[in-house]
Amino acid sequence: MKLEMGTGTALRNIIGRRFGHGWKRPFSTATCDVENQHSANANTNAKSINLYSAINQALHIALETDPRAFVFGEDVSFGGVFRCTTGLADRFGKTRVFNTPLCEQGIVGFGIGLAAMGNRAIAEIQFADYIYPAFDQIVNEAAKFRYRSGNQFNCGGLTIRAPYGAVGHGGHYHSQSPEAFFCHVPGIKVVIPRSPMQAKGLLLSCIRDPNPVVFFEPKWLYRLAVGEVPEHDYMLPLSEAEVIRKGSDITLVGWGAQLSIMEQACIDAEKDGISCELIDLKTLIPWDKETVEASVRKTGRVLISHEAPVTGGFGAEISASIVERCFLRLEAPVARVCGLDTPFPLVFEPFYMPTKNKILDTIKATVNY
């Protein structure tokens, strides 16, 4: 069955979600045709599914192709609070898919031991907001396991999945974007998908990568992002950023759910004659500096946007690196449009968030610098 695609037209629903004062958060329409290039071949079967279903497919494939793969975490057995693990326990049995006690340090510590014995340990942390009890195990143990042993041991089979990011009503503890903490840890990889099709391929790559990986899933997109996802087993490369919209006046860099907001800003900016290039970083560490640098050399301007608070966010690393590499090419300061330096608020979420208009204003200010 051929993958039907109108030129540049996504087959996704653009359903805004009303919140309070008419504030809308659509999701990415980005380049199906670019994504299509990554599909194995044009005759692939693909179905229109949402993000959690795509994750679910990846997990099914991971367990089906590797008898030493396991999925575990709080509430995964019945299908998980976001339905990402639906059907796994029934299909693969409760010795391979099982609930753990409510203890993140235990989930990750156990996962490290399982991975150290050559298994693929796919651990779920119910919300990224709750990953901190496992931070010691991730930073001091998983990230250093290979290095400290002189490569005698490794826990590369460990993948930690966690839903992250704003959801419209999550408040302090169901909305966090903690990626920056993990980007400061040599020895792990941090990967964030923007869409169902990306999520399935990236997650399979993370699971099969011989290094411990933290995979943040934009929970906002679990139901609302719908797209064509090939049904077969495919992997997308890690540490390769993707230009999802070509442009010449300014480079925008982002990841996850924020890309859809950035894309809306790009579309509006185009109406004012500003041509924006949009890059999905996908892997935050080790990140693809080359692709971003090549784009900035073309445009001379860069804007980074993420939901996490601006101070010490990963945008700071990208900014510093780009300035080091492209200083003389830059026509304007590197711009960051990010969350505020506050805990993630409930009623004030629309004010906290890096909205399309904040981005658009900053695009114009940067272009007119």
Partner 1 sequence: MRFLSESPSLHAHCYRVLDDNGQLIRHSNFIQVSEDIAVKMYSNMVTLQTLDTIFYEAQRQGRISFYVTTIGEEAINIASAAALTLDDFVFPQYREPGVLLWRGFTLQEFANQCFGNKADYGKGRQMPIHYGSNKHKYFTVSSTIATQIPHAVGAAYSLKMDKKDACAVTYFGDGGTSEGDFHAALNFAAVTEAPVIFICRNNGWAISTPTSDQFRSDGIAVRGQAYGVRSIRVDGNDVLAIYSAVHAARKMAVNEHRPILIEAVTYRVGHHSTSDDSTKYRPADEIEWWRMARDPVTRFRKWIESNGWWSSEAESQLRSSIRNQLLQAIQLAEKVEKPPVKDLFTDVYDDLPPNLREQEKLLRETINRHPKDYPADVPL
Positions marked catalytic: 104, 174
Span of 19-27, 137-145, 173-181, 330-338 interacting with partner 1 by CB under 8 A:
137-145
149 touches partner 1 by CB under 8 A: yes
In terms of CB distance, is 112 or 224 closer to partner 1?
112
CB of 186 to partner 1, least distance (A): 5
d(CA 16, CA 27): 8
CB 185 within 8 A of CB 143: yes
156 touches partner 1 by CB under 8 A: yes
140 touches partner 1 by CB under 8 A: yes
CB 126 within 8 A of CB 160: no
73 touches partner 1 by CB under 8 A: no
In terms of CB distance, is 64 or 361 closer to partner 1?
64
Span of 5-13, 26-34, 100-108, 214-222 interacting with partner 1 by CB under 8 A:
100-108
Burial of 62 (0-12, 13-18, 19+ CB in 10 A): buried
33 touches partner 1 by CB under 8 A: no
Expressed in angstroms, the distance from the first to the final Cα of the chain is 50
The tokens describing 345, both together, are 């608020």
Binding residue for partner 1, selected from 144, 232, 329, 358, defined by CB under 8 A: 144
Binding residue for partner 1, selected from 187, 193, 254, 339, defined by CB under 8 A: 187
In terms of CB distance, is 44 or 105 closer to partner 1?
105
106 touches partner 1 by CB under 8 A: yes
115 touches partner 1 by CB under 8 A: yes
The tokens describing 105, both together, are 């340090």
Among 72, 134, 126, 81, residue whose Cα is nearest residue 99: 72
173 touches partner 1 by CB under 8 A: no
The tokens describing 86, both together, are 């639906």
CB of 37 to partner 1, least distance (A): 23
CB 59 within 8 A of CB 71: yes
CA distances from 235 to 31, 43, 203, 306, 359 (A): 18, 17, 8, 25, 32
Residue 150's H or E segment, with its range, is none
Span of 130-138, 162-170, 229-237, 249-257 interacting with partner 1 by CB under 8 A:
130-138
d(CA 250, CA 134): 39
Binding residue for partner 1, selected from 31, 137, 264, 305, defined by CB under 8 A: 137
In terms of CB distance, is 37 or 95 closer to partner 1?
95
In terms of CB distance, is 106 or 345 closer to partner 1?
106
Query: Site size for partner 1, by CB under 8 A?
Result: 46
User: How many C-alpha atoms does 311 have within 13 Å on its Cβ side?
Assistant: 4
Binding residue for partner 1, selected from 19, 78, 147, 173, defined by CB under 8 A: 147
DSSP 58-88: HHHHHHHH-TTEEEEETTTTTT-TTSTTTTH
CB of 68 to partner 1, least distance (A): 8
Binding residue for partner 1, selected from 59, 63, 121, 265, defined by CB under 8 A: 121
Q: Is the peptide bond before 286 cis (omega within 30 degrees of 0)?
A: yes
135 touches partner 1 by CB under 8 A: no
Span of 74-82, 181-189, 215-223, 244-252 interacting with partner 1 by CB under 8 A:
181-189
Binding residue for partner 1, selected from 51, 54, 84, 114, defined by CB under 8 A: 114
DSSP 198-252: HHHHHHHHHHHSSS-EEEEEETTHHHH-EEEEESS-----TT--EEEE--SSEEE
User: How many C-alpha atoms does 12 have within 13 Å on its Cβ side?
Assistant: 27
Interface with partner 1 (CB under 8 A)? 95, 98, 100-101, 103, 105-106, 108-119, 121, 133, 136-137, 140-141, 144-154, 156, 186-187, 189, 210-211, 239, 286, 289-290
